[in-house]
Structure formats: C-alpha cells, structure tokens
Structure 1
Amino acid sequence: MSLSSNVAAPAVPAVLSIARILELDVVRDGDPEVLGGAEALMTPVRWVHVSETSEMSELLAGGELVLTTGMAFGDGGEDAARFLAEVRDAGAAGLVVELVQGASPHADAAITALRRAAAGSQFPVVLLRRRVKFVAITEVVHRMLVSDQLSALERSRTIHEVFTALSLEDAGEKDIVARAAKLIGAPVVLEDVAHLVLAFEDTGENQAELLTRWTERSRRVGYLESTGRGVGEENWLQTPVGVRGQRWGRLLVPGALVDDDDASMVLERAGQTLTIARLAGRDQLELLHQARAGLLHELRQAHSLGVEEVLVRAMALGLDEAAHYVPVVLRVDHRSGQGPTGMQLRERELLDVLLRVLDSARATGLAASLQSGQVGLVLGVGAKQLEEPLLERIFRQLASEQAGVDWSVGVGHGKSTVKDAAHGLDEAAQVAEIVATFESRSRPFYRFTDVRLNGLLALLQHDARVKSFAEAELAGILDPPDTAALELLELYLKHGGNKSALARTGYLSRPALYARLEKLEEKLGVSLDDAESRTSLHVAVQWYRLGKTR
C-alpha cells in the first residue's frame, strides 16, 4: 500500500490554552475560580513561570502563564493591582494565584484586593482556593508543550510525505483534493478562475448542500495571492493554485475549522502539488524542457562533441542557426523561508515567461533550467552588432511582464558557435550571482565589465591569499566583530574619504564623526587619509560583504 493511501484524519492537538490547562486534574485540585478575563481563556500559553517578585519585565518573554502565591501583594494586598498590571504589561498570557481563604488575615486581604483588581479585566486571572504544588503544574504543562511540539513536527513530516508521494505517483486533481480533505477533516473544493468546480471531496457531508449555488457563493470570497481567509461574505480558507501571474484556480475549505494553521499547511502543500501536477501534465513541453536542459548540461561538461553535432542537436530542439550566440543565465532571488518547491515553481514560471518573450521578439534561443534557481539561455543573434539591442529588448519586456523583478541576469561573451557559447554559461552564472548581491539593479542585464571589482572578487572569493589579505586589513573590527565600526567604514569609503560629505549626510555631528573616525583608525591601525589604505580597505570590505551574501 502506498504512503498516500493510508493517512489518518487530523491528529494535531489543540493549542495549549489557559482553558485547557484549567481542565487538568492537578489544577482542578486547587479549586480554580476565574476572577477576570473569562473571554480570553483561549489565549495560547507558551510556557509556565513561577514568580513571587514584582519585577517582571526582564523575566518574561511573552506568552507565559504566571503562577504565584501572592507574596508580592503586600500584607494588606495593597500591591495586588500593581502586580497584576506588571504581569499583563510584561506580555504574560495570564495569572494564576494560590490564596486560601481563612489561612491568614493577610491571605484574606490579598484575596479581596485581587478580586477588586481583576474585576472587569480583559486579562485572565485565576484564583486557586486550595493549596497545590506548583512544581506539579509546571511539570505537566511543560510535558504537554513538548509533546504538542513533537506532534506538530510529526504532523508536518506526514503532510510533506503524503504530497511528495502523490507527486511521485502522478496523482490527478481528484486524488490530491481527496487527500487534502482527509488530512484536514473538512470538505475541500478545487475551482477554476471562473468559479467552476474542478474537483471536490465532501468528507461524508451532503454533496448537494456543499455545492448548492457554488458559483454565487464563491464569488463572494475575495481572491488572495497567498494562503489565508479572504475578506468577503463567505470568509473561507483558501490557497491559490498555479504559478504567480498565471493562477488557474484555488482550493477552498467552505466552512469553519478547528485549527486554521494546520489546515493552511495542508492546503498550501496540496496547492503546490496541484500546480506541479498541472505543469507536469504538459507532456510534450515537459519533455522538450528536459531535453534542452540535458543538452546544456552536457555542453557545460568536458565532452568531445563536435561543433556540427552540437548545432544539429540544438536545431532539433528549436534553436535556429545564427551568426552569433550569446550565453545568458537568469538567477532567481532566494526568499526567506521559501522551500525547494516554492523555488522550483518560481523558476518554472520565469522560464515560461522567458519563452513567451523570445517568441514575441521572434528570437531564437535554447532555454532550460540549469539548477535550482537558475535558468540558462543560449541566444541566437543575426549579427554580433545586434546583440546589445536584442538583449535590451528581451529583458526589458521580461521585466515588464512580471509583477516584480526578483531575478538577476548575467551575460557571458558571445561566440560564433553554440558549443563555445554554452561553455560561457558558467561565466554568465557568476555574473548573475554577483548582481544578486547588489542593493539595486538599474540595468536589465549585466556583464563582467559591469560588475568590475565585485566581479574580480567573486572569482577570487575562495582564494586563500585574498582571504588572508582581507581578514588582516579588517582584523581590528572583525576580531571581535564591531558592526557599527564596519558600517562607519563603509560609509566613509562610499564618500571617497570625504569627511565633510559624510557629515552632510546627517550621519553624525562633525565633532562626533571625527571622534568616531579617529577611534576607527586606532582599531584598524592605519590612517584613513592615506589613499592606499583606503583602497586596500575598500577591497577588503567588498570581499567581506560578497562572502556574507553568498
């Protein structure tokens, strides 16, 4: 039996809330009474903290349930309100106080003061009217927190394995939607952009009720470009399906859910699987992409293919014979938190748009994915002098057809044969990697002559001699690291060593700036007025920053 066919319904535990903790036997033994914030008892608890001090701001990180015996309330309970306010302001999830009525006059006064302070509060305050062992509460709660985290990790792994298996099995839309519904434990519907239902799974509910007036109801659910609940009359959880700019549908859960986060994780992974399945369904185009990628990879290796043989194979894959060929690499920017699947989808989207632009420009080219996040292109040009205008036209149009330019373009030296041009893809890839480190990209494409010093340093990035030189130049501010000093040095070098120009930027007052620069000189052991020192430092800083961004 395959992995994807044997999956249980959702097993992720509920969020560990204050209400859930109050149901524990070890807490119920304390006869809990909610004094305030009853409507906020579903607040999640991140940890449990025992404290008898009023100094809470430095002790809490946020989300803790604080346990106390009220020792900080004062003999007459006069500090109860202040303690409660400090706990709340420190970001705690709630407060549990153990005070036994009649145990002492101080306890009675503290209870009275606590009731008064908690009355009408939106912050959860719970009174334990019998003695309990706080260590027993913390032990049980912390064990639950760890167990919940392990369950969540296991759940995430299971979801990943299920949809990976579905992709490997070439599952269709109906199977993918059915598995998503089973994982979520709620109905899931796949619709196209016209709100027509492509596939659905009702999980045992009435099908007629689920799909009644579907188009009308679905139109009231605003579209989103990411997973979430849209603004609209029908506030359903949804995720888009299809590559960005070419969305062909979306997945929806038409109803309420116990856990939106878990359902969102399932929907998102299902949406990615559907997208990949649809892309993989383009059999002929997919085979063509693979064949082109195979030829480019082969040409980048040291194989003994003849020039004519390479041309014949390239022409069979759609590249027309031309007088001049140019190697180009497009590098997709990495996004924080994005996994391999997301990068694959963005890379494929860029390749599809590039092919459309080439067709629109009536240009001939051999384009394919080189590796994760990189698209390679051998572009045919009618004559060498036409290379620049053709590149300008293609990549300006490519930029205009995408919502945001999140890729960089490197161009290698043009050659008279496809074989020689393909060897230049490595050079183009290096340029694209360097350009990806730039703060801004004013040109539609770059060559090594455009990246200049950064290009040289990129080639020498792993040269031990350059490394030793740069580290020696910056030793005074890198060992130990001094971020402020490094930033000041970069600004100073950026202004060509002109202190007055640097001061005019509003960075610091002149006296303060000059004092900082003198201290910087002491750390570096050189004079910043010396041109050779500034040049050496500039090379060292550029090398250091290039290494930090790669």
Structure 2
Amino acid sequence: MTVRRLTEFDELGLALVSGFDGADRVIEWAHAIELGDPAPWLSGGELVMTTGMRIGKTQEEQFGYVERLFDAGVVALAFDTGTNYDSVPAGVLAASDSLGLPVLAVPASTPFVAITRAVIDDLTADQVRGFQRVVDQQDVLARATLRGGIVMVVSALSRALSSPVALIDTDSRILAVHGHDSAAVVEQTQIEAADGRSRVGQRRQSSKVVADDTGHFLVQSVATSTQLRGYLGVESGVPLSAPERLLVAHAVSLISIELAKPAKLVDAESRLRSAVTRSLLSQSEDFDIGLLHYFGFDAESEITAVVLTNTGPLLAAERQAASVLAGASAAYLMTSRGNDLVVVVPAERDSELSALLYRDLEAQLHVPVACGSGLPTRIFEVARSTHQALIAARSATLATIRCVQFADLDTFSLLLSSLNPADVRSLSESMLAVLDAHDDEPNVTGGLVDTLAVFLRHNGHIEATSAALGIHRHTIRKRLNKISELTGRDLDSAHVRAELWIAVTAREIALLGPPAVSYGAAVTSSRASPGGPDR
C-alpha cells in the first residue's frame, strides 16, 4: 500500500496536496494521534492521521510538528479538513514540500477509521498473498528434493528468493551453492560455521542475521535428530520478510531430512532410477507411468538421450553425473549400458546439460570422455534417441570434437545409421575383410584398419596421421602401400577414399549393435499419442 495508491480509493476522497516526491512511499500502518510531539509513540512506517488539534498556531510551530514526524520515520500525514481546519495549513504544506513528506487532505465526510480499515485490509490481503506464495514455493522445494536432493533444494530456494544461497558443513566445506555473486554469502556462512566450532555448549539450533556494506545475511543452522550438520546462508539486499524467512525454514527442514537419509536409501533411489531407464529403453509392457513423475517427467515429456563413453569406472561416473545434474536442477534418468553411461534429459536443455556433463566428468575423472546426443523425441521413443546418441558418441571418440550431436554428423553416418545392422556389417566386411585377415595374422604389429581410419580422418595427410598414431611417417607409408596392395585400390583417388571412408564408418556403426527397439515400432496403446506413434 503506497500513499499514491491510497488516493485511488474513491470512497475515501483523499487528495495528495504536497510532498509529491514521496507519493510512492509504502504505508505499513495507519495511526490517529493528537499529540504535539507524537514521535515517542511511533515506530516508523506509519500514516499519521490528525485533526490539527496540537500542531501549533504559527507556521514555525507547524513546520516543527511535521519535522518531528519526518524524523520518526512517518511515511505520510493525513490531515482532516473538516474539524479544526478547512484546508491544510501553510506551515504544514511548506514543511511537507521541504522534507518530501506527503500530506493527504481528508474531507470532512471521511472518518479516520475508514482510512485505517482500508490500510489494514490491504495489508492483510498482501500478507495472505505472501503466505500463499510461500505455500506454492514450499511445493516447489519439495519436488526439488525428490528430483535432486539438497543441491536442487538450494538452487530452488535461491531462485524463489532471487538471492544467493550457500550450504556449508560444520567444517566449512561447501555442500551446495547457487546464485550470482555468491562469494559473500559463502564467506559469511563459513564464518558462522567457524564461530560455531569455537563455542562450547552451543545450542544445536540457531539463527543469525548479519548486516554489512554488502547486504543482509541470514544464517540458519541445519541439524538432524542427532547432530549439527551445517549452516544455510542467504544473502539479500534488504532483510527477508516473514514469508521469506518461513520459506528458508522449510528449506532447512528438507535439507535436514536429506542429510539424515541413510546411504542405503540413496542407493535404492539410484537403483530405481536405473531400473526405470532400462524399462523405458526396453519398452516394457508393464511400465508404471507414475514412476516418471517421481523423477520429473510425464508421458508427454520431450527428451533427448545423452551417451557418455570412455568414462572409466561406471560407478564413479554415475555419481559424478548425478552430482552435475542435481547442481543444474535438472530432471533426469540414467543407467549404464555396457561400458557407456546413458542419461535422459529434457529436450530443451540437451545442449546445456550434455556440455556440462562432458566438461565436468572429463575434469573430475581425468579421462578423455566422449559425449553424444540423440535427436529430441517423446519419452517412450527414448530407445531411438539413445541409439542415435551412441552413434554420435562413437563418432566423438574418433574425432577432435569430443561432444557431438547426432544431427551434426556427416551424411555417411546419417545414411548408414538408418540401415539394417546386418547390411551395415556386410558393407563393412566387403571392403575391409582383407585388411582384417592381415591384421589377424600372427606376429603382425600395427593394424591396417586403424591406420586407414586415422589416415582418412586426417584427409590423407601422412604427417598428421603419423602424429596422431605416434608412428614414424615412413611406417605409415609402408602400411598405406600394404593397404593398396591388399585391396587393389589407389589411395590417391578421391573416389577410392570415399568408398573406404563409408566402409570404416559402417564398421564403427556396426560395433554399436542394433537399437533396443525398431525405429518404426509402435508404442503400446496405453502410451500412444493421440495421432499415433511417430514414424
């Protein structure tokens, strides 16, 4: 409720007559008082209402009266023009304009109680709206907890408050952080954690508000039933409102529950996620759609499959990938497939999340991870996108670009991937079988097929091929001569290189095996879209 908005209540008939610069000041309460110096009975933020009984007779006295209101933090003055004065006195107007304190002229027909009721009703309605927003946000936090645990709760709270949020354990280590310019809130929360360690016999539950030149910080302890586990810090430009503090308390409760969650339960959730993903890939007839909702999807979700290869031990890769996706507040499904990691993400976030996964896993696992993304599709067609992602990932392992989207593959890969796997293998063997036979001979060192693939990938440059394989260029030339001899083809011919490149690409695609389901397979009737399955 602002001063300007109060004048828009036609039934009150209020007119803003001076102090126009303060018309947008916010009214926190309305109070009628007839003292010459009401300041000791005011706390700031009020709309003061008076009939002018004790404001003084001279302009100097009236100026002093308004000045005392201004110093007490009063928002505005409502002056009755029907009891002691027919209009607002000149001294009040002069002080109002000088100090920027708005003055409202109240007509004789408007009782002060009507103004008070209008202010209180609006404040009450605003509080109800505020707490309704909290209830809505509590639901968001609860769903965030189900999807990604404490990392996603911190992210959701940060977005709800539009403030940086940090979760620190009792040893000052960062468990989760979200929001721009979060260094200050991390530092302040770590200070509180250090202070907590230094106190003997400290209370397990505590809340602290700190204000400095950078802003306001609310630091709340996070505890389980048995021990203090950390601190949650929130930075804000102004002190948090009561509804916002309630939302922080709700987030603390959810985080406490997550921190107390037994390791066995966390492992069970991970296994369930993997089982749901495998069931989707195999197009199980008895699939429970309700399980999708638990992980943030539904039957209409548009998804993209992401495949990560060369990750090393899959358990470590799964844990790291889960941490990345939780930090990005992403809904996801995940399972291992052979030596690959399959992750299903919302289609609209494919590029962002695949890049995050690739960069983080390569940095944290210290292995040359390769990543491939399939085309967007409906969630029950995930097998199609997964097979495309496998093709893209395999291409990435053999290229300088380590994160490849299926849509960006060359024409050969796209055409070959649409063929029957048996035809792809036949095409590969017809061109490369003679080289395979040579490579399988005893005492043969250096595979001709691998050498050919690298040579073609480097556009027939011997020096680049030599560097890529770590072999002397003379040895490369000998191998290339042997390939020409065995195949009866001239490697200097562009046509021959194209044929061999098709064969090599077919070999790589054939190694992937057939997709989990046929690309044209219909989805079961319980899952089919209104227009029928996509073809």
Normalised by the length of structure 1, the TM-score is 0.36
Which structure would you say has the larger Rg? 2
